[in-house]
Amino acid sequence: MPIETVSENKSHGGTQGVYRHRSRETGTDMTFSVFVPEHDAGARLPVLWYLSGLTCTHANVTEKGEYRAACAEQGIVFIAPDTSPRGDEVPDDEGYDFGKGAGFYVDATQEPWSKHYRMRSYIESELPDIVGAHFPVDMARQGITGHSMGGHGALTIGLRNPERFRSVSAFSPIVSPLACPWGEKALGGYIGQDRAAWREYDAVALIEDGAKVPDLLVDQGTCDGFLEEQLKTHLLREACERAGQSATIRMQEGYDHSYYFISTFMAGHVAWHAKALKV
């Protein structure tokens, strides 16, 4: 599983790198970033995955997320994949909310998307194998977080794989693609019109169907322009209450959907994950 080093920079005593490899799942080159904090020789460190939102690449959080100081303090490796396959051979859509930059962390079943849009398998299976082979990580201690579409990805991947992820959090997540325009467009296009098949990609539906993790942490800004139509945080709160799923869901007064919001609460999320990952 060879990887190419795109760049490496020293930061907070550790190394911030960007890497590229040929993906068997997407059939394309994929780029991801990894921050490895300073550590003792031979040490294996816990891992925090961060999944980005619509229109983003690995670069958004890498450049604006302000996670490195917290990860250096806590001794956590931070991994940021891309949101979708890229390249001239990859089909796309005119809208920002479908196609490149909008992989939605699903394995597409519909043509022409099914050949390349396999972000679920890429995140759940392929990239962890690559990270485990090339970086000083302890894959028995993994947490996952993400923003918006990536918050949807973090919640659903975490709920589907509770044996793998010790901690799950999200910033401004799409909590129920079954109940919002972004989700209906993405899942209808990638998966087809059988809405029952969408449930494994919907955090609210997964919780209703019995999925459970030890705890959830969600931060959501009250001035987020997508809150009412697309994100619908209250649906997650209600589903957790009905199912007895432990969850801390915080409505942060005055914050929007941007990285100004994410960077404000990032260190708190890293510290929250660290408590679970250091056990």
CATH number assigned to the domain comprising residue 36: 3.40.50.1820
Q: Is the pLDDT of residue 272 over 70?
A: yes
pLDDT exceeds cutoff 90 at 207: yes
Give yes or no for residue 157 having a pLDDT over 80: yes
Active site members: 148, 224, 257
131-156, pLDDT tens digit by residue? 999 999 999 999 999 999 999 999 99
Among candidate residues 146, 31, 169, 199, the one with its CA nearest the CA of residue 100: 31
DSSP run (H or E) holding 145: strand 137-146
Q: What is the pLDDT of residues 209-244, one digit of tens each?
A: 999 999 999 999 999 999 999 999 999 999 999 999
**Angstrom distance (rounded) from CA 58 to CA 128:** 16
Q: Domain range holding 60? A: 4-278
pLDDT for residue 1: 81
- List helix spans (H) across the chain: 58-64, 68-74, 119-121, 127-134, 149-160, 181-191, 203-208, 233-243, 259-277
pLDDT of residue 279: 64
Task: Please tell me the predicted confidence (pLDDT) of residue 20.
Answer: 98
**In contact, 127 and 117? CB cutoff 8 Å:** no
Instruction: Sort residue 105 into left (φ over 0), alpha (ψ -120 to 50) or beta.
Output: left
- Whether pLDDT at 198 is above 80: yes
pTM equals 0.97
Condensed to tens digits (0 to 9), the pLDDT of residues 26-80 reads 999 999 999 999 999 999 999 999 999 999 999 999 999 999 999 999 999 999 9
Count of structural domains within the chain: 1
**82 and 32 Cβ atoms separated by less than 8 Å:** yes
3-class DSSP assignment, residue 40 = coil
